Chains A and B, each alone.
Chain A
Amino acid sequence: MNLDTRSIAEKLLLRENHVFLVLTILLGVVGGLSAVLFTLAIDATRNFLFGAAPSMWRLLAVPTLVSLVTGYLLAKFFNDARGSGVPQTEAAYHLHQGVIPGRVVIGKFLTGALCVGSGHSMGREGPSVQIGAGIASVLGRWLRLSPARVQSLVPIGAAAALSAAFNTPVAAVLFALEEIIGDMNAALIGSTVVASVTAVIVERSILGNEPLFRVPAYHLVHPAELAGYAVLGIVGGIVSVLFCKLLLRARASFRRMPAWTRTFQPAMGGLAIGVILVFVPQVMGVGYEHVDQALQGSLALKTLVLLCGVKLVATIISYASGNAGGIFAPSLFLGAMTGGAVGIVMHAWAPFPTGDPGAYALVGMGTLFAGIIRVPMTSVFMIFELTQDYQILVPLMVANLLSFLISRHFQPKPVYHALLEQDGVHLPGAASRVTLGTWRARDIMVSDPVFIPEESSIGAAWRIVEMDTSGAFLVGSREKLAGLVKRRDLEESARTGRGDVPVMSLVVPDSPHVHPDHSLELVLERFRGSPGLLPVLSRGEVRRVDGVITLETIVQFVQSDPQA
């Protein structure tokens, strides 16, 4: 190569951060397009399947039959496309270095459009987040960016898609920071803003500037009215807790059903939804047109309460039965109905002047969002972006805070995290987010522990571990830990003639464990409560053993050269 070519090559050698910058803008465009296309696909599906005035039989049949198809697709090809998409995106970010397969993107788009378009009471924002994040992940890997860069693209793609799906760029950025990353101080804020703004420009160039909701002109009628919004916060918190608990229980019930039913569970949900739609078609799909009515104060108290209750049930059925769709929009729907109902009651009975019920419906949207999704900053800014009115901030914060606190008290684990735990995925909480330079469990553990097969007898187990001086041993396999058995119990049972008894009879229930990213401080704290052996379990597959920590491994770590 001559000197000219070499200098051109050096000049053209794009540093990774330059690629990243260009990619951020591109992701804004592509993420925005994907979200808009997804929205249009849902609308087109709904128009095609239901037409203008669907008959009773169509309302009953469409969700059932379409869910048969989506159930098959989800079970056979797109298992990762079930549910909302937000918890899966979080898991990809925190546990899989941002890897989201392209197949998931396609599957989410297809099954999400079919499920929501066929009448399931679910939202489109969650799937949009996963689609946008997935596109970002795929692009990042195509470009062979480093794993850290690919990981950082995920919240950027998610924010872009959400910004376009909901037409609130600031709230989308906050959502990515608050929910996906879990850190408001993330260094990605600049890129996320760029992508989010680009996406909303693309969205508005296609769908126009018409706001998602026709928000009434709002004003606080009297300072005492804040008490009314406090009541809304309390009621909103209760409804949030009810929704989360029922959702988790219903989902757990579906998961306990035999494995062969998984293909048909979405159709079971579809049939139930079809029955509901025959009587209350207003809970079909996203339902933003009815949110609009609540914001205009067009709905009577009975209608608001009915729609709130039925929507809650319908969303739980749709989600728990394994269909593809989110709970973002249903949260807003429930919030608008709850707020409208509280507003009517306040208007009629409060001893102080109150505003229109529509104003309460608006604040209610943020309140339920804060209580269910558990993102207080995002919920405040989302409603502010919809109204562009500073007057709403104080009542919104009052109501959101109360709802958030009540929800956190009675449902400590946020719903997205709880849903992941049902799938055997443990996301890191705030306590386990460690700063650079801190030793972690993965630095101390040994990766080749001895396993006692689950089907062994006590005698056989004792023969395996007799020469090992550890205080406890693992029972099961690397892929599936069954539990721990104490050396003392094993020895005593073997020596007292119980050698033929299955070793599982000695397994210690609920023994402590750690995950690879846990800090040394947490490891030592949990080790104190262990029988002398602390399993290190994978976050992505909570029964999989990555390693073990024993007293010997701790001593070895202490005596070793940390730099090595």
Chain B
Amino acid sequence: MTNPEFCPKCGAPLASGVCRSCDNERGFRVVRREIAILILVSVAAVPTYLVTRSVAAWNRRTDTRIADEWYRRGQQQLREGDTDAATESLRRASVRDRDNQKIALALAQVLAARNRDGEARTALLRLSGTSPNDPEVHLELGRLSARGGNVPDALLHYHEALNGLPAGTEAEGQGRRIRKELVRFLLDHHEKGKALSELLVLAADAPSNAESHVEVARLFLEAGDVARALEQFVEASRLDKESGAALSGAGEASFLLGDYVSARRYLERAVELNPGASKSAELLETTRLIQSANPLALRLPSGERTKRVLAGLDQAAKRLDRCLDLQRGLSESQRSDLEQLRAEVESVRGARDAPSRRPDPELVQNGAELVFRIEEAASRSCGEPTGLDLALLLIGRKHGGAGS
């Protein structure tokens, strides 16, 4: 018979009918069980974590492979000219591999090519956030800004693109291409001052070959800096004496600067190298006419001067007559001006032909000036002159007539 004051299981004394010892043991078993389960779950979490990471890595590799496939497909479609399909392929590629700069840039470029400037800009700005110094990204942004006519943004991004280029020969070539593109944009937007700044850098960095200098020279010409254009053309012709482009460019620049002697030299050489160069031939012809018709040229005998000025007057008078013969297109004031000039021509001729004529010491100067005024007025009223008339007009301008 069990004693109610002692535990039947372990024999320990009971407290208020409860065995403390058995209770603790039971509690200990429960505690051990809880601890065991928690430890088991915690331990199991470790390999689960590692397995999950492996699966995630495997998934990423699969996605990258699929992204590459779509990227290749997109590039192929671009080569075939199917930009719609290429856009879709590159989009799918970028979805699979969002961090891939190459894919993101290709997508932005094709969006820009399809004039989806807003999307392209968003994609590029996002790219620039992750790769702030990427020259390709800034170049595309610059092109987008240029297309939108935003000069400050275009300048900023083009400069960022240039600054982001690494050192090296290849990068230098790329840099020159970028800067030329920038200059082209600035010139198209009549920003000649900014274009000239860029051209100065371009000229300083130009490689030692005639083509590069010719290219820079042409840009200088377009920007209005004829003197620097001439420098570049001359340098180009020095590097390649057989360069027709350099010679004809130098001739043109010299012509524009009024140095007809040099212009004739360059242009004769250019035409000799390339007889088919019609523009050079035309310029050469004009140059020759200028040189042969200029009564104010240096070291001319006085008879020759007089002869030239009178020939010029005759030519100008013919131009005047042709102009006055136009029934329509002339206003009253234009007609009046031209008739006034005609009267002046008659007056000069009359004075020259008069029997008691005394030699006019001012004939050359006044005659040349009259010729210039006639050619200018005719040019304003009846269109640009050609041939000898053009030569006479340019002679007048060179010697300080009313500006062009």
Extra contacts, 7 of them, besides A9-B24, A26-B38, A298-B122 (Cβ < 8 A), are A9-B27, A14-B31, A26-B42, A47-B59, A47-B63, A296-B119, A297-B119
Q: Restricting to B58-99, which residues have a CB under 8 Å from any CB of A?
A: 58-59, 62-63, 66, 69-70, 73, 91, 95, 98-99
Give chain B nearest CB distance to A12 CB in angstroms: 5
A residues less than 8 Å from B59 (CB atoms): 40, 43-44, 47
* B41 interfacial by beta-carbon distance below 8 Å: yes
Contact: B24 with A296, CB < 8 Å?
Answer: no
Contact: B66 with A47, CB < 8 Å?
Answer: yes
Q: Restricting to A31-45, which residues have a CB under 8 Å from any CB of B?
A: 33, 36-37, 40, 43-44
A22 to B, closest residue via Cβ = B38
Q: Restricting to B102-137, which residues have a CB under 8 Å from any CB of A?
A: 118-119, 122-123, 126
Contact: B45 with A10, CB < 8 Å?
Answer: no
A residues less than 8 Å from B95 (CB atoms): 289, 292
A7 to B, closest residue via Cβ = B24
Contact: A33 with B52, CB < 8 Å?
Answer: yes
* B34 interfacial by beta-carbon distance below 8 Å: yes
Contact: A216 with B122, CB < 8 Å?
Answer: yes
Contact: A1 with B52, CB < 8 Å?
Answer: no
B interface majority secondary structure: helix
Contact: A40 with B55, CB < 8 Å?
Answer: yes
Contact: B41 with A36, CB < 8 Å?
Answer: no
* B307 interfacial by beta-carbon distance below 8 Å: no
Contact: A1 with B25, CB < 8 Å?
Answer: yes
Contact: B28 with A9, CB < 8 Å?
Answer: yes
19 CB-based A-B contacts, threshold 8 Å: A6-B24, A9-B24, A12-B28, A12-B35, A14-B34, A30-B41, A37-B55, A43-B59, A47-B62, A47-B66, A53-B73, A143-B38, A207-B56, A214-B98, A214-B126, A216-B122, A292-B95, A293-B91, A296-B119
User: Among A13, A51, A139, A216, which residue has its beta carbon within 8 angstroms of that of B28?
Assistant: A13
Q: 0/1 per residue, A288-305, Cβ < 8 Å to B?
A: 010011001110000000
Contact: A297 with B52, CB < 8 Å?
Answer: no
Contact: B42 with A14, CB < 8 Å?
Answer: no
* A19 interfacial by beta-carbon distance below 8 Å: yes
A residues less than 8 Å from B14 (CB atoms): none
* A52 interfacial by beta-carbon distance below 8 Å: yes
A29 to B53, CA, bound (A): 14
Report the interface size class on chain A: 35 or more
Give chain B nearest CB distance to A181 CB in angstroms: 24
Contact: A297 with B122, CB < 8 Å?
Answer: yes
A330 to B126, CA, bound (A): 26
* A206 interfacial by beta-carbon distance below 8 Å: yes
A51 to B92, CA, bound (A): 12
A210 to B129, CA, bound (A): 14
B residues less than 8 Å from A51 (CB atoms): 66
A47 to B, closest residue via Cβ = B62
Q: A52-B70, A210-B98, A297-B122 are in contact. Are A33 and B45 (CB under 8 A)?
A: yes
A202 to B48, CA, bound (A): 12
Give chain A nearest CB distance to B391 CB in angstroms: 60
A207 to B, closest residue via Cβ = B56
* A142 interfacial by beta-carbon distance below 8 Å: yes
* B200 interfacial by beta-carbon distance below 8 Å: no
A143 to B33, CA, bound (A): 8
A residues less than 8 Å from B27 (CB atoms): 9-10, 13
* B30 interfacial by beta-carbon distance below 8 Å: yes
Contact: B52 with A296, CB < 8 Å?
Answer: no
Q: A30-B41, A47-B59 are in contact. Are A296 and B30 (CB under 8 A)?
A: no
Contact: A12 with B31, CB < 8 Å?
Answer: yes
* A129 interfacial by beta-carbon distance below 8 Å: no
* A154 interfacial by beta-carbon distance below 8 Å: no
Q: Restricting to B342-392, which residues have a CB under 8 Å from any CB of A?
A: none
A320 to B27, CA, bound (A): 50
Give chain B nearest CB distance to A362 CB in angstroms: 14
Contact: B42 with A296, CB < 8 Å?
Answer: no
* A23 interfacial by beta-carbon distance below 8 Å: yes
B residues less than 8 Å from A43 (CB atoms): 59, 63
A95 to B144, CA, bound (A): 61
Give chain A nearest CB distance to B322 CB in angstroms: 59
A14 to B27, CA, bound (A): 9
Contact: A6 with B21, CB < 8 Å?
Answer: yes
Contact: A9 with B31, CB < 8 Å?
Answer: yes
Contact: B66 with A52, CB < 8 Å?
Answer: yes
Q: A9-B24, A10-B24, A297-B118 are in contact. Are A40 and B38 (CB under 8 A)?
A: no
Contact: B37 with A40, CB < 8 Å?
Answer: no
Give chain A nearest CB distance to B42 CB in angstroms: 6
B48 to A, closest residue via Cβ = A33
B residues less than 8 Å from A14 (CB atoms): 31, 34-35
* A249 interfacial by beta-carbon distance below 8 Å: no
Contact: B41 with A37, CB < 8 Å?
Answer: no
Give chain B nearest CB distance to A10 CB in angstroms: 7
A residues less than 8 Å from B62 (CB atoms): 44, 47
A residues less than 8 Å from B28 (CB atoms): 9, 12-13
Q: A9-B31, A40-B59, A206-B56 are in contact. Are A33 and B38 (CB under 8 A)?
A: no
A residues less than 8 Å from B34 (CB atoms): 14, 19, 143-144
Contact: A33 with B24, CB < 8 Å?
Answer: no
Q: Restricting to A48-102, which residues have a CB under 8 Å from any CB of B?
A: 51-53
A10 to B119, CA, bound (A): 67
Contact: B45 with A26, CB < 8 Å?
Answer: yes
A359 to B10, CA, bound (A): 75
A509 to B63, CA, bound (A): 59
A44 to B54, CA, bound (A): 12
6 closest A-B pairs by beta carbon, nearest first, are A9-B28, A289-B95, A52-B66, A9-B24, A1-B21, A40-B55
A213 to B27, CA, bound (A): 51
B residues less than 8 Å from A297 (CB atoms): 118-119, 122
A206 to B63, CA, bound (A): 16
A43 to B52, CA, bound (A): 13
A75 to B30, CA, bound (A): 38
User: Among B25, B41, B58, B98, which residue has its beta carbon within 8 angstroms of that of A9?
Assistant: B25
B residues less than 8 Å from A9 (CB atoms): 24-25, 27-28, 31
Contact: A202 with B37, CB < 8 Å?
Answer: no
Give chain B nearest CB distance to A96 CB in angstroms: 22
Give chain B nearest CB distance to A357 CB in angstroms: 10
A206 to B45, CA, bound (A): 14
A residues less than 8 Å from B41 (CB atoms): 26, 30, 139
